Amino acid sequence: METNQKFTTPDGYASDIAVFTITSDQIGEYKPPLKTLKIMLIKRSEFDHEGNPSIEAGKWALPGGFVRPEETAFQAAERRLLEETGVGGLRIKHFGIYDSPKRDNRGWIISNAHYVIAKETDLKSRKITYDAADIQLFPIKEALGLELAFDHRQIIDDAIWFIKKDMALTTLAKHFLPEEFVLSELQGVLLTVLDDPSIATDAAFFRKAPTLPFLEAVSENGKPKKSNRYSKTPAQLYRFNEVQPIVSVYRNKLQG
């Protein structure tokens, strides 16, 4: 059935990318490095590359930009991340659409939101480009306290939920650890993202962690391999094996 009703089309189609990493800082002898979850933000320039005043100039923002007619939103995310930060080759995941008509003063701009959890070394190539006045890594709490452009605070808040899911349900933590590690190192990585008493409480964590099916104790010449780099008393070294966790919402109920 045909209708004479007119529909309003968006004024623009864009992609934004929330890039997170976990940094390490040594805090003292016999102590594991302090792990901190951070996000990469750019400071919007006063003028764009064509010399026109930039909207939301001077505010911190996620990297991103408009999708070209010949590309997908995902391809635009890869391109804009490289163009705005100099960082490429990262595993980008799409997680949401932001389409509030009032999210951008230029008009009704729909944005595809993506997130990345990158190693700290992957972001060493970051650099200021013509579209940004500055580029920095901020701890999450500090980032959320900044004057952020558009609705980027909401996008960051939502992206953190997906990071928590990845950290809790996969072996993501291994990407931020050496091949062989002590359990306190693993605990430090997990706590950058997860606020879980069973992880934060040493007694519970050190009792449960060795039983996880994707972790195995390292041995050398038939004996437990230990390290005292983070404790005066040598601690057992562990590594991830090839087991991938599979989470079922039915498992506990059906086994009860």
pLDDT at 49 over 80: no
pLDDT tens per residue across span 239-256: 999 998 887 777 655 555
CB 49 within 8 A of CB 130: yes
pTM value is 0.89
Phi, psi of 53 (to 5 degrees): -60, 135
d(CA 11, CA 110): 8
pLDDT tens per residue across span 7-19: 888 999 999 999 9
Confidence category of residue 234, pLDDT binned at 50, 70, 90: very high
d(CA 137, CA 20): 9
Comparing 23-27, 30-34, 181-185, the range with the smallest average pLDDT is: 30-34
Nearest residue to 120 (alpha-carbon basis) of 97, 90, 143, 96: 90
pLDDT at 55 over 60: yes
